[in-house]
Amino acid sequence: MRRIPDMVITRMSIYSRVLSALMEKGIDIISSDELGKLANCSGTQVRKDLTYFGQFGTRGVGYNTSDLKSNITKILGMDKRWKVALVGVGNLGSAFLSHERFKKHGFDIVVSFDADKSKIGKIYNNVEIRNIAELKESINEFGVKIAIITVPAQFAQEVSDLLVESGIKAILNFAPTTLRVPEKVIIRNVDLSLELEALSFFLTHKRAYDSEFSFLYL
């Protein structure tokens, strides 16, 4: 009944990734310490994270890679498929229409929207581009519950409101702006601008001290 920290979920995904690689190598038992090393954290961290969800190992032995992998897959809900709508078929949006990453993770883009008349009606990678004016009806028609926002920042809130109104339950937002959504709507932001500014900061403030680099206050 505990609330699970975001970072625990992120690490669970990483463990899952490491376990896949181990399975491919034919390794079928791994200790928390080894798994941690491959996931860039401690064995303690691995064990602690797993206790949020149950007991998956054997004392004195370790974890069975394929068992743990399938348990994590189920915990993350990666054993099902989700229908997704994409809003904004610009350069990033159209890249996503032909990006296999979504499909690989169980997210099928079934419809897309744009306001640009020259794009409407076209089909990219089997996905139709519809007029954003038809968003609500189309969302209902397809029974889509998840949306990807790849419109310019200034239109993102408006699109988000429209999606929420249409019954969307989760949003993956790529627009560089903080969206206001009702608490019941799940939102994840992938903010490239924030990453670029962090990169800029660390590049600017990198300082050499005794042949070692640290990020310091001025």
Ranges within 133-192 binding a second copy (CB under 8 A): 145-146, 169-170, 172, 176-178, 183-184, 186, 188, 190, 192
Identity of the amino acid at 42: S
CB 130 within 8 A of CB 113: yes
The least distance separating a second copy from the CB of residue 199, rounded to whole angstroms, comes to: 5
| Minimum distance from residue 68 beta carbon to DNA (Å) | 9
Q: Are 87 and 110 in contact (CB under 8 A)?
A: no
Residues 6+ apart with CB under 8 A from 149: 87, 88, 156, 159, 160, 163, 171, 172, 173, 174, 175, 179
Which residue of 14, 38, 62, 185 would you call a contact of DNA, by CB under 7 A?
62
With binding defined as CB under 8 A, does residue 47 bind a second copy? Answer: no
Size of the site for DNA (CB under 7 A): 26
Nearer to a second copy, 65 or 173 (CB): 173
In the complex, minimum distance from the CB of residue 16 to a second copy, in angstroms, rounded to a whole number: 7
In whole angstroms, give the CA distance from residue 42 to residue 165: 44
- Determine the residue type at 49: D
Distance CA 17, CA 20 (A): 5
Residue 70 found at the interface with DNA (CB under 7 A): no
CB 56 within 8 A of CB 12: no
Residues 21-40 that bind DNA (CB under 7 A): 30-33
Q: Please, what is the minimum distance in Å from the beta carbon of residue 134 to a second copy? A: 25
In angstroms, give the least distance from the CB of 59 to a second copy.
Answer: 23
- Nearest Cα neighbor of 34 from 56, 14, 16, 18 is 18
Give, in order, the Cα–Cα distances in Å from 212 to each of 41, 203, 208: 22, 15, 6
Residues that bind a second copy (CB under 8 A): 1-4, 6, 9-10, 12-14, 16-17, 39-40, 52-53, 75-78, 80, 82, 91-92, 94-95, 98-99, 101-102, 104-107, 145-146, 169-170, 172, 176-178, 183-184, 186, 188, 190, 192-206, 212-218
Residues that bind DNA (CB under 7 A): 3, 5, 7-8, 30-33, 41-45, 47-48, 50-51, 55-63
